[in-house]
């Protein structure tokens, strides 16, 4: 079950900061192929492969799948260009993941051969022949509990999708009693609380999420937006500023940091954040507008005009483009 994504509050703060990158705007065009083998060099059939797009999420599908044929080979076309984490799964073998960047272009990109390491035999039959009866019973009990929790999680997911917040919250709390350290469960509790209008509870849940998984930029953004919505812009800014170096090239994070910094009256930090967005996405009209507005705030008319003109050139008919035209008319 996935968390419900960025709230309406976040969309209001920085939706325009997640416009498509130039490569995404040009369409899906990456084509790749590769091969998976075992440690003896033999091809592995029916290996499930997942391509998880790690670039900026813009509402599109970010996971793509493939499977190896009897020769251990696979081909996947129609992928968004950009950074990926590629994961290989096959029962009885260790899971293997690798980062790669798909640049697209003519022909098929060749990925390096992947070698999967076979796991030792841990089937229940084998365990029963080697393990004391008490340990076998404990393993069975853990397996049963896991299956039961998975069933509850599926029901909670359905309740979230149906916006049945009371049922979703009850089911998620039930899971936490037995598995209190699952960031996904806490994130969904935060989503439910936010949708119910209980922002303090949503904040508490998302603070737990980032504590359990400090690598999730999206959860930091959610937390900051929830805090900002409670009138504590300075606190929200500090949450993002503290971890900003960790997500220096994450466009969504830096865009949110810039927006929150503006709300908290930290003009220099806001400008620095928007400049980091500009470095990875120079064709973002919203960023050009924000940089132009910040330049005006510090009385640098020349730089303001330059950014506003870029905004108009990139999105002449957008709301920001229209406002940039009005500002340019006044400045000139």
Q: What is the pLDDT of residues 192-241, one digit of tens each?
A: 999 999 999 999 999 999 999 999 899 999 999 999 999 999 999 999 99
Instruction: State the span(s) of the chain assigned CATH 1.25.40.10.
Output: 8-17+164-331
Q: Are 53 and 63 in contact (CB under 8 A)?
A: yes
The β-bridge relationship of strands 114-115 and 82-89 is unpaired
Q: Give residue for tokens 């003896």.
A: 40
Model pTM score: 0.56
Q: Provide the pLDDT for residue 37.
A: 94
Say whether pLDDT at 127 is over 60. no
List the beta strands (DSSP E) in the chain.
Answer: 30-37, 48-53, 63-67, 73-79, 82-89, 96-102, 109-110, 114-115
User: Considering the chain, what is the average pLDDT of its residues?
Assistant: 81
DSSP 163: T
- Rounded Cα distance, 211 and 180, in Å: 13
- What pLDDT does residue 39 have? 92
CATH architecture of 28-115: Sandwich (2.60)
Residue entry with tokens 């830096």: 254
95-106 pLDDT per residue, tens: 888 888 887 665
Judge whether residue 13 has pLDDT over 80. no
Q: Are 62 and 84 in contact (CB under 8 A)?
A: no
Strands 109-110 and 30-37: parallel
Which residue's structure tokens are 């917040």? 165
- Quick: pLDDT tens for 128-186: 555 555 555 665 666 666 677 777 778 888 888 888 989 989 988 888 888 888 888 89
The Cα 238–Cα 223 span in angstroms is 11
Instruction: List Cβ neighbours of 143 (8 Å cut-off, separation of 6 or more).
Output: none
pLDDT of residue 60: 52
Q: Boundaries of CATH 2.60.40.10 in the chain?
A: 28-115
| Tens digits of residue pLDDT in 25-74 | 344 567 888 999 999 999 999 999 988 888 766 445 677 889 999 999 99
8-17+164-331, CATH topology level: 1.25.40
């Amino acid at each position: 079950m996935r968390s419900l994504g960025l709230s309406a509050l976040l969309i209001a703060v920085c939706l325009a900061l997640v416009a498509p990158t130039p490569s995404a705007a040009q369409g899906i065009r990456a084509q790749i192929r590769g091969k998976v083998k075992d440690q003896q060099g033999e091809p592995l059939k029916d290996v499930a492969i997942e391509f998880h797009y790690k670039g900026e999420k813009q509402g599109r599908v970010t996971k793509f799948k493939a499977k190896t044929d009897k020769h251990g080979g696979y081909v996947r076309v129609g992928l968004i260009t950009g950074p990926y984490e590629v994961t290989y799964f096959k029962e009885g073998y260790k899971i293997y993941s690798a980062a790669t960047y798909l640049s697209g272009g003519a022909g098929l990109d060749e990925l390096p051969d992947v070698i999967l390491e076979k796991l030792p035999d841990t089937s229940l039959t084998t365990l029963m022949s080697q393990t004391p009866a008490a340990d076998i019973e404990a393993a069975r009990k853990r397996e049963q509990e896991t299956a039961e929790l998975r069933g509850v999680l599926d029901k909670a997911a359905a309740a979230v999708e149906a916006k049945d917040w009371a049922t979703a919250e009850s089911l998620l709390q039930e899971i936490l009693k037995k598995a209190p350290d699952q960031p996904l469960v806490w994130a969904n509790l935060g989503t439910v609380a936010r949708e119910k209008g209980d922002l303090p509870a949503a904040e508490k849940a998302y603070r737990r999420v980032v504590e359990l998984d400090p690598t999730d930029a999206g959860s930091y953004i959610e937390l900051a937006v929830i805090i900002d919505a409670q009138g504590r812009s300075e606190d929200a800014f500090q949450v993002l500023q503290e971890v900003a170096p960790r997500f220096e090239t994450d466009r969504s994070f830096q865009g949110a940091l810039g927006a929150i910094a503006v709300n908290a009256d930290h003009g220099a930090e806001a400008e620095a954040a928007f400049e980091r967005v500009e470095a990875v996405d120079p064709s973002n009209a919203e960023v050009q507008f924000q940089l132009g507005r910040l330049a005006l705030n510090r009385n640098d008319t020349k730089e303001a005009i330059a950014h506003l003109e870029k905004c108009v050139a990139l999105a002449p008919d957008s709301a920001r483009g229209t406002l940039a035209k009005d500002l340019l008319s006044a400045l000139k």
